[in-house]
Amino acid sequence: MKVIQVLVVDDSAFMRKIITEMLESDSRLQVVGTARDGEECLQKIKKLRPDVITLDIEMPVMDGITALKKIMDDNPLPVVMLSTLTQSGTIKTFQAIAMGAVDFISKPSGAISLDLGSIKEEIISKVVVAAAANINKPIAPVQGNTTKTVSQPFNNKIVAIGTSTGGPRALEQLLMGIPSDFPAPIFIVQHMPAKFTKSLAERLNFSANITVKEAVHGEIIESGIAYIAPGDFHMKIREVGTSYAIELTSEMLIQRYQPSVDVLLQSIAALQKTNKTIAILTGMGKDGSQGIKEIKSVDKASYIIAESAESSVVHGMPKAAIETGYVDKVLHINQIGEEITHAVNKSRRD
């Protein structure tokens, strides 16, 4: 196996040292160079030709966003952004993802995080995954849509979507294919830490035809709304009298993920007399595959879609779903929103 060569870019000498030591503790990775700002990063890329770049967002001379744009325009490479947990940091993170960054790492305690070691395995894992990512995936343009149809009462049709690495762009593209009169609620699990999911919901709400919001514990679900599981909470659907409500819990990590696609799907499997449409999109790992098995075991009429390798940034989650043998259709991300709409409308006619 070829050793993955990494360029580490951060304006802090301390952070460059810590990140380098972490990455080089894994035999799959070799740090071939470091840079203290975006300008030096561009120079080092030409000289060192790295496989992956870790790129800090906030830097002097040339910041990470400007450097990322030049990288993706001139010499596209897999980039993992390093971001702070501030409001500005989350906005710039989603800007970077829209521009082509594979993934991001949130620094746990600000620009100079002395406790970065607490997320060592996450950093290593994301860099390794980025090295194999499909960075030529088309990026959907962001188009504001302020006209939203009023939501409708829930009518026993449910859509659930699970995704991880590459998910924000995939979700944006999928939701653009969902019409404003969509007759079902959509439940979304995106592997993402707390604070970032609220910004994700706001960004998707800006471009989608339906309302997109971060889910709230105990709220009664309505059709025509997409609910995103908050970071650090599992999202479940439960019956409340003749209605259904969202339940947010944090009882355990599932395969290192919280929120977990499997937890959402397992709760949906328990719902009686509901038409279920599930889509598993780009992401590393296999979260969602167990949930698919449980849904199909109790409801053979449920409809399962997986994103194709062609459009996935990382084909781990869709591939694991396909390998269960329960996926009904494999589609490019451009087609999934329309297919979900067709499936839900067909269930209404049937």
Active site residues: 164, 191, 287
Q: Which helix (H) or strand (E) element contains residue 6?
A: strand 4-9
- Please tell me the distance from the alpha carbon of residue 86 to that of residue 106, in angstroms, as a whole number: 10
- Please tell me the distance from the alpha carbon of residue 307 to that of residue 109, in angstroms, as a whole number: 35
- Where in 91-228 does DSSP place strands (E)? 103-106, 152-153, 157-163, 186-190, 211-214, 222-223, 225-228
Closest CA to 160 of 245, 269, 248, 247: 269
**Do 218 and 247 contact (CB within 8 A), yes or no?**
yes
Question: If phi over 0 gives left and psi between -120 and 50 gives alpha, with beta otherwise, what is residue 5?
Answer: beta
- Please tell me the distance from the alpha carbon of residue 152 to that of residue 188, in angstroms, as a whole number: 19
Q: Write the CB contacts of 128 (distance below 8 Å, at least 6 apart in sequence).
A: 4, 26, 28, 29
Number of H helices, E strands in the chain: 11, 16
Q: What is the amino acid identity at position 154?
A: F
**Do 18 and 43 contact (CB within 8 A), yes or no?**
no
- Please tell me the distance from the alpha carbon of residue 285 to that of residue 191, in angstroms, as a whole number: 11
Q: Which helix (H) or strand (E) element contains residue 257?
A: none
Q: What are phi and psi of 227, to 5 degrees?
A: -105, 125
Q: What angle do CA 341, 212, 220 make, to 5 degrees?
A: 90
Task: Give just the sign of the alpha carbon dihedral 91, 96, 98, 103.
Answer: negative
**Do 284 and 129 contact (CB within 8 A), yes or no?**
yes
